């Protein structure tokens, strides 16, 4: 078996952490048992480009139990947990191509390695596999049943491809599932982003001005958790509806140019480029912290930051690069190389919330099999009934019961004749 991991001897510790995460993933556990019994992926090859974490390991194990021939690479150079990568190879016999801190050349070499697997299904986190297939590996297209995508950023890319007529196979938008974006994006990103910032800096959040760029589901969670830790939260937005929502939620809303001089900590989670740029850096306080929770490392303009600085940055802590600006000697601290701070400096989302996201991933992949030959080359959402079932199983696992409509109530809601 071919693979490329940092140190295979890390496998025992990785296995223990994978098993620990599995205890918090009852929905995926049930799906894994179903897959084991039915083996819907028998004879199929699956290539996945995802964050190599304990939660992802349990998803890969579920697919493997379902008969899939699975390979995995990292979807971000800093997100790999090396012990997990080693454990997947050693204990689960799943080839992994991922090393924490790998350079860009190695990162793309690993993407091509999993595509050499000639997949029938791809699982993407940021659409790097799909993009590479369409640009450089078009010989693989005829073999494809389709793929799944779990990020907002990736779905934006895929919808652009579909709109231009460039998408050559169907894709399932897992991120659009309610059980994904309402929970993973909000509660998962909110908690894990704060965890990453605190682990990287050991800073006290209480009393600090935290500037959150954007007010989508991820940024809502970040703002909520920052406020819960005692921070004064400022939100920046381009969408008047989201800006209004942030105001009604009790946050101060400003343009970034006005937030720049007063922020102590800046967190961007918009999916767009250069949200924090040169003209913002020049106004920032001495000691400001810059963090990103968007998928790609483009939200903070690192080139401009370097050009404004007197010299190369100092690595003052393992995940903190300190830039000293030429014009005022202010020190700006870039966290996690501007990559996903929750995975660069911490462990990513808690397993409990990833349970629902990865249940959606697994069932989306099965949907592609069940509807082989019936789907167009466009982006599909997870069926509402699948979303509802994931939520129901999660509630059951939590020991929570809810009401059901009576026959009378159901009839009333379905009738147009009833009224006052």
CATH number at residue 196: 3.40.50.720
Residue with the two structure tokens 């091509």 = 112
Q: What is the largest CA-CA distance in the chain?
A: 74
Specify whether the CB–CB gap between 29 and 105 falls below 8 A. no
Domain that holds residue 251: 189-344
**Paired sense of beta strands 209-213 and 171-173, if any:** unpaired
Is 110 found in the same domain as 226? Answer: no
pLDDT digits (tens, 9 = 90+) for 336-394: 999 999 999 999 999 999 999 999 999 999 999 999 999 999 999 999 998 999 999 99
Is 339 found in the same domain as 234? Answer: yes
Helix axes 351-370, 11-22, angle to 10 degrees: 80
Specify whether the CB–CB gap between 148 and 386 falls below 8 A. no
Residue 125 lies in a domain: yes
Please tell me the predicted confidence (pLDDT) of residue 366.
97
Is 265 found in the same domain as 173? Answer: no
- CB neighbour list of residue 109: distance below 8 Å, 6 or more residues apart: 97
Residue 391 lies in a domain: yes
Residue 412 lies in a domain: no
Is 113 found in the same domain as 59? Answer: yes
Residue 48: which CATH number?
3.40.50.1480
Distances 410 to 109, 406, 407, 413 between C-alpha atoms, Å = 56, 6, 5, 5
Neighbouring-strand partners of residue 333: 289, 322
Specify whether the CB–CB gap between 205 and 198 falls below 8 A. yes
Is 202 found in the same domain as 166? Answer: no
Is 131 found in the same domain as 104? Answer: yes
Residue 372 lies in a domain: yes
Is 167 found in the same domain as 195? Answer: no
Is 363 found in the same domain as 313? Answer: no
- Number of structural domains the chain divides into: 2
Is 209 found in the same domain as 332? Answer: yes
Please tell me the predicted confidence (pLDDT) of residue 416.
86
Of 76, 78, 199, 69, give the one whose Cα is nearest residue 128: 76
Mean pLDDT of 309-333: 97
Is 148 found in the same domain as 250? Answer: no
Give the span between the Cα atoms of 289 and 335, in whole angstroms. 7
Residue 414 lies in a domain: no
Please tell me the predicted confidence (pLDDT) of residue 417.
79
The 3-state DSSP class for residue 215 equals coil
Is 315 found in the same domain as 170? Answer: no
Residue 224 lies in a domain: yes
Neighbouring-strand partners of residue 315: 321
Residue 411 lies in a domain: no
Reading the block at residue 240, the tokens are: 């008047």
Question: Is residue 289 over pLDDT 90?
Answer: yes
Is 355 found in the same domain as 337? Answer: no
* Residue 35 burial (10 A CB sphere; 0-12, 13-18, 19+): buried
């Amino acid at each position: 078996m071919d693979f490329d991991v940092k140190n295979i001897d890390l496998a025992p510790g990785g296995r223990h952490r994978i098993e620990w995460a599995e205890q918090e993933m009852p929905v995926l556990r049930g799906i894994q048992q179903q897959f084991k019994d039915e083996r819907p992926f028998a004879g199929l090859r699956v290539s996945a480009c995802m964050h190599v974490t304990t939660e992802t390991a349990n998803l890969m194990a579920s697919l493997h139990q379902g008969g899939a021939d699975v390979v995995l690479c990292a979807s971000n150079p800093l997100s790999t947990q090396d012990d997990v990568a080693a454990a997947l190879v050693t204990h689960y016999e799943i080839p992994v191509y991922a090393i924490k801190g790998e350079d860009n050349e190695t990162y793309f070499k690993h993407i091509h390695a999993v595509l050499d697997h000639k997949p029938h299904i791809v699982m993407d986190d940021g659409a790097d596999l799909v993009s590479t297939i369409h640009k450089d590996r078009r010989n693989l297209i005829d073999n494809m049943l389709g793929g799944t995508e779990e990020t907002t950023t990736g779905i934006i890319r895929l919808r652009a491809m579909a709109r231009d007529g460039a998408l050559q196979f169907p894709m399932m938008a897992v991120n659009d599932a309610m059980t994904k974006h309402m929970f993973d994006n909000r509660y998962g990103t909110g908690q894990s982003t704060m965890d990453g910032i605190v682990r990287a800096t050991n800073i006290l959040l209480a009393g600090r001005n935290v500037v959150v760029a954007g007010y989508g589901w991820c940024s809502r969670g970040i703002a909520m958790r920052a406020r819960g830790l005692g921070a004064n939260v400022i939100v920046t937005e381009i969408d008047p509806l989201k800006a209004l929502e942030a105001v009604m939620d009790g946050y101060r809303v400003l343009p970034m140019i006005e937030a720049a001089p007063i922020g102590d900590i800046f967190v961007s989670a918009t999916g767009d480029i250069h949200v924090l740029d040169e003209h913002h850096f020049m106004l920032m306080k001495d000691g400001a912290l810059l963090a990103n929770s968007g998928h790609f490392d483009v939200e903070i303009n690192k080139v401009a930051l370097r050009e404004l600085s007197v010299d190369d940055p100092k690595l003052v802590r393992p995940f903190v690069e300190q830039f000293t600006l030429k014009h005022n000697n202010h020190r700006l601290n870039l966290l996690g190389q501007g990559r996903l701070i929750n995975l660069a400096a911490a462990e990513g989302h808690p397993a409990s919330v990833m349970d629902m996201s990865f249940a959606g991933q697994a069932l989306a992949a099965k949907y592609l099999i069940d509807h082989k030959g019936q789907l167009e080359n466009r982006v599909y959402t997870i069926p509402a009934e699948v979303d509802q079932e994931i939520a129901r199983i999660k509630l059951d696992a939590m020991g929570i019961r809810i009401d059901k409509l009576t026959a009378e109530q159901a009839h009333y809601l379905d009738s147009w004749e009833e009224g006052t």
